Amino acid sequence: MISFFKKNNPSSNYFPISTDMHSHILPGIDDGSPNVETSIQLVKGLIELGLQRSIATPHVISDVYRNTPETILNALALLRAALQEQQINYRVDAAAEYMMDAAFFEKIERQEPLLCIKDKTILTEFSFGSIPENPKQMSFAILTSGYSPILAHPERYTYFQGNHKYYHLLNDLGFQLQVNLLSFTGHYGAGAEKAAKYIVKNKLCRYLGTDLHHQRHLESLKNGRNVFEALLAGEQWNNFLGE
Ligand SMILES: [Fe+2]
């Protein structure tokens, strides 16, 4: 299995990952970077943090961000061209963050090709507004179509924060859990921080990502140095990295 985690963390580099598999750094197609100039600034910030590669994951949400493989790959081409022009050596690939709404399951049913993080693995998210009615049916539809779902930031959905048993259930249903690094710093509140630590402690976290949208996230990631260092020094975290 390809690992997105650093196996060996040099003491000079406190950042827990070298590949970021969740971000909104592609220009102009969702609520992340609005233009190529901003995208370049975000990439420069990621390089400073010690990252070597990003898999950008623009939102695909019906009626809000109607992205398609075409809109996403066009934005990727724009960013790659600008990076090359400015001689910035950083690898950017693209997938998507699929909202599991009706339009998504229609795509699944029609067997439309989806943009993958790797192999047939896709990044998915639930609505923040209300608890998903039937996650079992959702994972079943995705798995039987040949894809494997990663669930973005399970720690951030407030309806799961009151009952951490949900994380075991989601994992058992086949959702690979991806935690946002900023959740450990308290950036999204105490509930998300507690849930993120629970997910890691219980060895349910399969991926870490920045979910970088804008400069403020970048600043928070830089300011999280002490938190990330403490996590990396912890026994539980080391076990988790060794998986
Ligand atoms: Fe995201």
Give me ligand 1 centre to Cα 56, in Å: 9
| Cα distance between residue 105 and residue 98, in whole Å | 10
| Cα distance between residue 185 and residue 238, in whole Å | 18
pLDDT (tens digit per residue) in 14-26: 788 889 999 999 9
Give me ligand 1 centre to Cα 23, in Å: 6
> Which domains, from first to last, does the chain contain?
19-241 (3.20.20.140)
Give me ligand 1 centre to Cα 140, in Å: 23
| Cα distance between residue 201 and residue 167, in whole Å | 12
Give me ligand 1 centre to Cα 234, in Å: 27
Give me ligand 1 centre to Cα 148, in Å: 18
Residue 1 has pLDDT above 50, yes or no: no
pLDDT at 7: 44
Give me ligand 1 centre to Cα 99, in Å: 10
Confidence of residue 238 (pLDDT cuts 50, 70, 90): low
pLDDT at 237: 58
Give me ligand 1 centre to Cα 29, in Å: 13
Query: pTM for this structure?
Result: 0.92
pLDDT at 229: 80
Give me ligand 1 centre to Cα 121, in Å: 16
